[in-house]
Structure 1
Amino acid sequence: MRTSTPSLHLAKETSTLAKTSSPVVIAGPCSAENEEQMLLTAQGLKKLQGVTIFRAGIWKPRTRPGSFQGVGSIGLEWLRTVKQETGLRTACEVANTSHVAEAMKQGVDILIIGAHTTVNSFMVQEIADSLKGASVPVLVKNPVSPELMLWLGALERFDQNGITDLGVIHRGFSTIDNAPYRNHPKWDHVVELKNMLPDLPVYCDASHIAGRRSLLRPVSQRALDLGYDGLMVESHHNPVMALSDAQQQLMPQELDMLLQSLKLNHTDEDITRKGVMMEELRKEIEHLDDQLLDLMARRSLVSAQIGDLKADECSLDRQQAWDDVLEKLLKQANSFGINKDFVKTVFQEVRKQYAQTHLYADMGS
């Protein structure tokens, strides 16, 4: 179900997140671990072309309480030190109003709303209300579930509170089958969002989509081909020793090689978008075909059960039953705009199959 085209009051000219001629790169460790780790990583990233924003996880939403959940507020002090010593702008995720207050107090430049927060409209509303009247850029990650309207709704909540310096981060979705990704990209969702809000800055969190280093390049390249405004890639000065998501983080020099390997503006963005939509439509057709086969198999089973119960029913009664069903189907086909001759042909083939299965030759004519 689609709603009317949204309209956000985006601050195009004064926005910190405004579109630029070259992609913006947001980089930094998955989690802030200690001040030395933060500074060593930031100093390496400062040397890279395109990296202008340093991010680090201060509070980590973990599935179970026994795992590393971030260092908490002290990490904000390390972020402030990074900003003072490197000149890089800073960013971190906030999940509640107390996080917002602490981050703002420590001078964090950009607030990020995480996927596990975006999915909860009450939490988003509270954060948006707490920021009313503030002039801080906010990047909203897509919700964990592939619900475009939920993502859009989060943006509208901030917009209604006067936050106009808005952008989004695409970090992928949790689906039944994410392979080969950690989180399925479902590029068509972002294409649709960009079509609705063409002025909205869009960044790709390649690390959380890929889940491992080997997929970072193709994910990043696809994002650039689709006209994304920037990338977010996790970087750690020593990923092997990282306390979280070690397998998807790059050392600064590895990130440099990744960025150097990416090609800019080498494809037609509209063609790429159409290609993405075509891929999704083909997948949907395949899914519908599977459903059709499943329905046919289930129908055959039910028909067999009916045949067993009505074995002594006369042919005229069976014929009338078939005719009644066909008449109903043709009326439905007309209301759906489906060719009635096509429906009739399919239905007659179903009759033949039923007749052959149950040896009712008179029904197969």
Structure 2
Amino acid sequence: MASYDALVVVSFGGPEKPADVMPFLENVVRGRGVPRERLLEVEAHYQRFGGVSPINQQCRDLIEALRPELDVPIYWGNRNWHPFLEDTVRQMAADGVRRAAAFATSAYAGYSSCRQYLEDIERARAGVEGAPRIVKLRHFYDHPGFVAAVADHARDALSRLPEEHRRDARLVFTAHSIPLSMAASAGPAGGAYEAQLHKASSLVAAALGRGEHDLVWQSRSGPPQVPWLEPDVCDHLDHLAKEGVRAAVLIPVGFVSDHMEVVYDLDVEAAQRAEELGMHVTRAKSAGTHPRFVRMVRELMEEPEPAPCAATCCPPPARRGAGG
């Protein structure tokens, strides 16, 4: 069993007031050559909700839920907005932390979902004299705690459908789309991001006693000439409607909290499309602070230290599009 003297939650970060939105987005896309028009489009998504992303508060809520589970101090640092990870690592060093576990708010392999968090950690440590050793916990897409939390929230979403549609409602799992080139290089042998998402979706469907289900994609943000994972969730709803499917549950299995991409892409865009199609659609909550998910973090810390990834695993893409 690994031994840590602290936990640091490492996340993406998000704006907390209208004036934060554009500086935050500029941090997200720095060096990518993303057109200003795309940033303005994404900024409008945030401003629709008062310029506040839910993600930071969701990290605070997770930390509070974790405190009774852990007997070590808990820290929090972000990639793109306050509190920045380097500032957090500086505080950890000042507090005398020597060996910490890092829980990244992503369950899967891939550059943006795993490798980039490892880079964030090492960059932050390099900027801090006496920085603690920080061990990123393993991918948890198939952990029973994650599966149980997602399945429980999916049951709740099914219960919110009209009773006559619950039995035949289609389970539609969603995850963040990425370029096909990035998907092909995810994991030691490539393709791990898709494979892990399919596995997680199958495990949740089995926990619900369902066989048939779909995995689709959301939040595409790259230029149209670059191929990304498809189908998009809204296009898939069109397809289901043509097949005569009258009800569906959207399950954001690719995310661990209901942040802006979940809220905008599913609760706004997909909900509007479903209404236009006359479909009954509900959206399951993400794992969030479900007790089984919270306990999972402690269980991950009790496992043997995960083997480090190979340097060639999940290489950075040559070019990436804007984040949503």
Q: Whose Rg is larger? A: 1
Q: Between Structure 1 and Structure 2, which shows a larger proportion of helix residues?
A: 1
Using the size of structure 1 for normalisation, the TM-score is 0.25
Larger relative contact order (CA 8 Å, sep ≥ 6): 2
